[in-house]
């Protein structure tokens, strides 16, 4: 009886290993692929109307323009909050997700909870993570959209929109816009919870069905190539399905644009670009997020298995647990 109660305790499944492994995966992929994230954001907010924004005609042209006017430093604008954001977001997400999933499984990792509960666990983890990390994403977006040393560097820029780094961006955003400024894009970010839910559902189901096909437990360890394949396919599916929310979120966080609310942003995007406007930057986004997610998941899976194996000798076996209950 005591074992049952422990398993149903929401905190019983908390394992710091998931947090550490998630942070490791998020930081590794971000450091390697940040320039593509910067390109995605700049394409997403490009509307051809704001004079403070450079105009990019393609991925190669954008990369060369940024490098020519801003140097290698320009390709890594916003990398500090991106590392903090990705590291903390992936760490917290994996921690919350695995804790909630463990609760659904009553502590037994070999129980298959099905696609519905996988989506619920991922959605709940996404909401908790977004509440804690949205201010970091606002700062990252704004630093990525600071076009200093570029063709428009000579134009006047408001003091409130000139940032000297991550801390300065936090301070100025809060000073001039308050808490509301740090949570810009939160509503479309909530729609993004569906992205994580779809991705994790697809990833978990592919792993489970594959292991069932091999007549192995659903939590059996896979090879690096198998993790890469399932992570890439699940991310591709979720990214194409939910990409418009990322465009709207980036536009609402853009310090050079002014939208009254989400509805206004949706209407203006449609008026200026039609349906394709909601998919601006999709190609550089896919170039970044698919390999980034694959790398993140491989580092996470390998790290978590290693760390959890270190814990196992310290934990009582099922037979020992039953004998004490």
13-50: burial string, b at 16+ Cβ within 10 Å, e else: bbbebbbbbbbbbbbbbbeebbbbbbbbbbbbbbbeee
Tokens of 108: 């037994």
Q: Residue 4's pLDDT band (boundaries 50, 70, 90)?
A: very low
Structural contact between residues 175 and 89, judged by C-beta atoms closer than 8 angstroms: no
DSSP per residue, 81-126: HHHHHHHHHHHHHHHHHHHHHHHHTTT-TT---HHHHHHHHHHHHH
The beta strand positions in 199-263, using DSSP E, are none
Nearest CA-CA partner of 143 in 31, 35, 255, 57:
255
d(CA 164, CA 166): 7
Lowest mean pLDDT segment, chosen from 202-211, 285-294, 309-318: 309-318
pLDDT (0 to 100) of residue 324: 45
| pLDDT-based confidence at residue 49 (cuts at 50, 70, 90) | low
- Tokens for 309, please give them: 């194996």
Taking the C-alpha atoms of residue 198 and residue 122, their distance in angstroms, rounded to an integer, is 8
Q: What is the pLDDT of residue 131?
A: 92
pLDDT of residue 322: 42
Q: 79-132 pLDDT, tens per residue?
A: 888 888 889 989 999 999 999 999 999 888 899 999 999 999 999 999 999 999
Q: What is the pLDDT of residue 147?
A: 66
- Contact of 211 with 218, CB cutoff 8 Å: yes
Q: What CATH number corresponds to the domain at position 303?
A: 1.50.40.10
Please tell me the distance from the alpha carbon of residue 175 to that of residue 171, in angstroms, as a whole number: 6
Given a cut of 60, whether residue 232 has pLDDT beyond it is yes
Number of domains in the chain: 1
Q: What is the pLDDT of residues 234-290, one digit of tens each?
A: 999 998 888 888 888 888 878 777 888 888 989 988 988 888 888 887 887 788 788
Give pLDDT, residue 154: 42
- DSSP letter (8 states) at residue 231: H
Residue span of the structural domain in which 247 resides: 2-324
Higher pLDDT, 129 or 55: 129
Q: Find the mean pLDDT for residues 18-36.
A: 89
DSSP state of 274: G
CA-wise closest residue to 139 among 110, 113, 97, 168:
168
pLDDT confidence bin for 1, thresholds 50/70/90: very low
Tokens of 130: 């977004």
* pLDDT at residue 160 greater than cutoff 70: no
pLDDT for the residue 313 = 57
At residue 158, the pLDDT reads: 61
220 Cβ contact partners less than 8 Å away, ≥ 6 residues apart: 211, 214
- Could you give the percent of the chain with pLDDT greater than 70? 85
């Amino acid at each position: 009886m005591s074992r049952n109660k422990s398993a149903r305790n929401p905190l019983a499944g908390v394992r710091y290993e998931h947090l550490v492994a998630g942070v490791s995966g998020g930081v590794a992929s971000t450091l390697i692929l940040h320039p593509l994230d910067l390109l995605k954001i700049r394409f997403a907010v490009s509307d051809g109307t704001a004079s403070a924004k450079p105009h990019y005609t393609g991925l190669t042209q954008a990369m060369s323009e940024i490098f020519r006017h801003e140097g290698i430093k320009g390709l890594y604008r916003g990398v500090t909050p991106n590392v903090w954001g990705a590291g903390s977001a992936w760490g917290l997400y994996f921690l919350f997700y695995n804790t909630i999933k463990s609760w659904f499984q009553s502590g037994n990792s070999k129980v298959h909870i099905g696609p519905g509960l996988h989506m619920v666990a991922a959605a709940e983890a996404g909401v908790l993570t977004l509440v804690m990390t949205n201010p970091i994403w606002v700062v990252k977006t704004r630093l990525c959209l600071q076009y200093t040393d570029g063709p428009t560097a000579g134009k006047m820029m408001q003091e409130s929109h000139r940032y000297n780094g991550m801390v300065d961006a936090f301070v100025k955003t809060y000073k001039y816009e308050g808490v509301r400024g740090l949570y810009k894009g939160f509503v479309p970010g909530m729609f993004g919870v569906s992205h994580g839910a779809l991705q994790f559902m697809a990833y978990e189901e592919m792993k489970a069905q594959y292991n069932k096909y091999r007549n192995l437990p659903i939590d059996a360890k896979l090879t690096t190539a198998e993790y890469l394949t399932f992570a890439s396919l699940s991310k591709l599916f979720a990214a194409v399905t939910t990409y418009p929310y990322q465009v709207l979120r980036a536009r609402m966080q853009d310090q050079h644009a002014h939208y009254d609310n989400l509805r206004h942003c949706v209407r203006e995007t449609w008026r200026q670009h039609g349906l394709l406007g909601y998919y601006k930057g999709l190609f550089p986004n896919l170039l970044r997020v698919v390999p980034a997610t694959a790398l993140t998941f491989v580092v996470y899976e390998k790290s978590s298995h290693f760390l959890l194996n270190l814990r196992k000798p310290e934990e009582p076996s099922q037979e020992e647990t039953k004998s004490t209950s």
